[in-house]
Amino acid sequence: MFVAGLDVHLRYVTVAVLDSNGAPQLEVEVPTRTPERLVTHLDRFRPLHVVVETCPFWPWLYELLVPRGITFHLAHAKALRAIAAAPQKHDRVDARLLARMYLSGVLPEAYPRSADQRELLCLLRHRTTLVRFRTRLAGRIHSQLHQQRVLLPREQLLRQHTRALVAEAWAQVLTPEQLAIVTQHFALIDALTPQIQALEHRIDHAAQVHPIAPLLATVPGIGPYRSLLLATELAPLSRFPTAAHVVSYAGLAPTTRSSGGHTWHGGIPKGANRWVRGALVSAIPSHVRVAPASPVTTAYTRWKNRRGWRVARVAAARKLARILYTMWRRQEPWRAAA
């Protein structure tokens, strides 16, 4: 068996091939514009395991090498402390270290998503980016209004009747420059909204034909966007032996540190799948409003009375993650008494 560590950059790939005993067999730098040269170098070693650090460039390597019978391993970049803290940092050293970590059994592996999953996530995250941009524009409009002591509820700003206020009431209150900012930001919002609606139409269709998303969408508060996001991010579910693994993957379990007989419990970790956590946490307000008698709402109310709404939303999202895991495993839709 041979192991190849690949340190990938935009213009070149540094390759370090080791045998099963850790002895170097090849060290070479290959330009990315000639992928056939990379294949020629690696085809000499079989069976071969390739280790690549998570980065924007790994998908094309995955599509190039896996069809040729090469086993592909994706290393979690944030967990590679041995590389980040190394006093001697060089591309060849990094590539060699990736291979040696795999041989030693200490490689922190990440799941390499398929091309279909990456396409869906690209669609979903593009929609999220545009929505966040529109929200920032709305926030800037609110900022101009607040400077003149004008208070407008958040949900009213993007509605049609609000535009009449720009020409009538606000024109008498805002300065000329402030009015110009508000007018221009409304124009940008008007340009973004049809594009967001087109993306949401595509997401609705993709969610309808997805094998798992319709099942998750039976949960109150989880619509096409969230169901498709969760179904894509968590697939295949076989990666998670128990519901607790999904909770941990989403970063919804509190951190615990124990040393010298003392144990400390902290907040939720920063290093987690922020997309899964965001989808679950943001679904809680809608779920509580639509399903007031559900066990998730009961948990939310109990925690809210004890610790406040911020802690309650995370605790309820943790319970929702366990329910979604059970539904997926059993292929059963939402039941209010679940």
Q: What is the pLDDT of residue 338?
A: 45
Q: 223 lies in a domain? A: yes
Q: 338 lies in a domain? A: no
Q: How confident is the model over 152-171, as a mean pLDDT? A: 78
Reduced 3-state DSSP string for the chain: CEEEEEEECCCEEEEEEEECCCCEEEEEEEECCCHHHHHHHHCCCCCEEEEEECCCCHHHHHHHHHHHCCEEEEECHHHCHHHHCCCCCCHHHHHHHHHHHHHHCCCCEECCCCHHHHHHHHHHHHHHHHHHHHHHHHHHHHHHHHHCCCCCCHHHCCCHHHHHHHHCHHHHHCCHHHHHHHHHHHHHHHHHHHHHHHHHHHHHHHHHHCCCHHHHCCCCCCCHHHHHHHHHHHCCHHHCCCHHHHHHHCCCCCCEEEECCEEEECCCCCCCCHHHHHHHHHHHHHHHHHCCCCHHHHHHHHHHHHHCHHHHHHHHHHHHHHHHHHHHHHCCCCCCCC
The per-residue pLDDT for range 35-77, each reduced to its tens digit, is: 999 999 999 999 999 999 999 999 999 999 999 999 999 999 8
CATH number of the domain residue 29 falls in:
3.30.420.10
Q: Is the pLDDT of residue 82 over 70?
A: no
Q: Is the pLDDT of residue 334 over 70?
A: yes
Q: How confident is the model over 136-165, as a mean pLDDT? A: 85
The per-residue pLDDT for range 219-255, each reduced to its tens digit, is: 999 999 999 999 999 999 999 999 999 999 999 988 7
Domain match, 307 and 223 both? yes
Its pTM stands at 0.88
Q: 336 lies in a domain? A: no
Q: What is the pLDDT of residue 337?
A: 54
Domain match, 228 and 326 both? yes
Report the share of the chain in percent with pLDDT over 90: 79
The per-residue pLDDT for range 269-314, each reduced to its tens digit, is: 777 899 999 999 999 999 999 999 999 999 999 999 999 999 999 9
* Average pLDDT score, the chain: 91
Q: Which domain holds residue 290?
A: 215-330
Domain match, 169 and 134 both? yes
